[in-house]
C-alpha cells in the first residue's frame, strides 16, 4: 500500500450541498484544501476547488491520430510496396477499402491510450491499494481533507472550528 506519510485532518458532510458550501467557504478563508473525496462526481466542485479542466481528451486525440496513421500507413506499405496484389481489379492503393480498418484502429488506440493514461496519472491499476480516509466516503459521506503534518495546534484548532461552522457531521485525523 502507498503511504503518503501525512497527517490528515478531515471532516465528513452528509450532503453535497453542505460540501459545496464548505469548500466555497474554505476558498474565501484562504484555507489550503488537500483534497475532497465524494461518493459520486459532484458538479460545480471543480471550479470552486480551483481544478483545471482535464487534458485527457487532448491525449486521446493524439492516441487516436497515432492509430489512424498506423493503420493507414501500414496497409499502404503492405499493399503498395511490400507485396502488391490486385484484388477485384482495384488499384493497389485502394483508399476507400482502407477506411474501415483505419477508423477501427483510430478508436482502438484512442480508447486504450486514454484508459491507460487515466489509470496511470490517477496512480491506479490492478492490485494498487491507495490509502483511504473513511469507508463511508464511497457510500454516503462527503469529505474535505486538510494536510496538517507539522501544523501548530492553533492551526489545527482553527481548522476544527471551520468544520464546526460549516456543519461537518464528523471530524477526525488519520495518518496516511
Partner 1 sequence: MSTIVSPIREPLILGNKTYHQITEDICRPTEAAPSKEWIIGFIVAVSGLGLYFFSVLWTVWNGIGSWNLNRTIGWGWDITNFVWWVGIGHAGTLISAILLLFRQKWRTGVNRAAEAMTIFAVICAGQFPIIHMGRVWMAIFIFPYPNTRGPLWPNFNSPLFWDVFAISTYFTVSLLFWYTGLVPDFATVRDRATGWRRKMYSNLAFGWTGSAKHWQRWESLSLVLAGISTPLVLSVHTIVSFDFATSVIPGWHTTIFPPYFVAGAIFSGFAMVLTLMLVVRKILHLEDYITIQHVESMNKVILLTGSIVGVAYLTELFISWYSGYIYEQFAFYNRVFGVYWWSYFGMMLCNVVSPQLFWSKKLRTDLWVTFFMSIFINIGMWFERFVIIATTLARDYLPSSWSYYSPTWVEIGLFVGSLGLFFTCFLIFTRVAPVVAIAEVKAILKSMGNQYVKNNTVADHALHHEEEEEHAAHGGHGHH
Asked if 9 interacts with partner 1 (CB under 8 A), we say: no
Does 103 interact with partner 1 (rule: CB under 8 A)?
yes
Burial, 145: exposed, middle or buried (Cβ in 10 Å; 0-12, 13-18, 19+)?
A: buried
Q: Which residue has the cell 506519510?
A: 5
Residue 33's Cα: distance from chain center in Å? 18
- DSSP 8-state secondary structure symbol assigned to residue 159: H
Specify the residue, 7 or 37, whose C-beta has the smaller distance to partner 1: 37
Query: Interface with partner 1 includes 150 (CB under 8 A)?
Result: no
Which CB, 17 or 157, lies closer to partner 1? 17
118 binds partner 1 (CB under 8 A): yes
- 168 touches 22 (CB < 8 A): yes
Q: What is the DSSP string of 71-132?
A: HHHHHHIIIIII-----TT--SS-HHHHHHHHHHHHHHHHHHHHHHHHHHHTT--TT-----
Closer CB to partner 1, residue 41 or residue 150? 41
Per-residue contact string for residues 73-92; x = within reach of partner 1 by CB under 8 A: -xx--xx--xx-x-xx-x--
Q: Which residue in the set 31, 108, 151, 156 belongs to the binding site for partner 1 (CB under 8 A)? A: 108
Would you count residue 123 as binding partner 1 (CB under 8 A)? yes
Residue 26 to residue 32: CA distance in whole angstroms: 8
Is position 56 an interface residue for partner 1 (rule: CB under 8 A)? yes
Q: Is 62 in the site for partner 1 (CB under 8 A)?
A: no
Does 165 participate in binding partner 1 (rule CB under 8 A)?
no
Segment near partner 1 (CB under 8 A), from 3-11, 71-79, 148-156, 158-166?
A: 71-79
Amino acid at each position: 500500500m502507498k503511504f503518503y506519510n501525512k497527517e490528515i485532518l478531515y471532516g465528513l458532510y452528509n450532503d453535497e450541498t453542505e460540501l459545496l458550501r464548505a469548500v466555497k467557504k474554505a476558498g474565501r478563508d484562504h484555507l489550503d484544501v488537500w483534497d475532497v473525496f465524494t461518493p459520486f462526481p459532484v458538479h460545480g466542485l471543480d471550479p470552486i476547488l480551483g481544478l483545471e479542466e482535464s487534458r485527457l481528451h487532448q491525449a486521446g486525440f493524439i492516441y487516436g491520430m497515432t492509430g489512424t496513421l498506423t493503420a493507414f500507413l501500414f496497409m499502404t506499405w503492405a499493399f503498395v510496396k511490400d507485396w502488391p496484389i490486385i484484388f477485384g481489379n482495384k488499384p493497389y492503393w485502394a483508399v476507400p477499402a482502407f477506411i474501415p480498418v483505419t477508423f477501427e484502429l483510430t478508436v482502438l488506440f484512442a480508447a486504450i491510450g486514454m484508459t491507460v493514461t487515466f489509470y496511470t496519472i490517477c496512480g491506479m491499476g490492478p492490485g494498487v491499494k491507495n490509502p483511504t480516509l473513511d469507508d463511508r466516503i464511497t457510500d454516503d459521506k462527503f469529505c474535505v481533507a486538510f494536510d496538517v503534518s507539522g501544523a501548530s495546534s492553533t492551526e489545527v484548532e482553527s481548522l476544527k472550528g471551520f468544520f464546526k461552522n460549516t456543519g461537518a457531521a464528523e471530524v477526525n485525523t488519520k495518518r496516511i
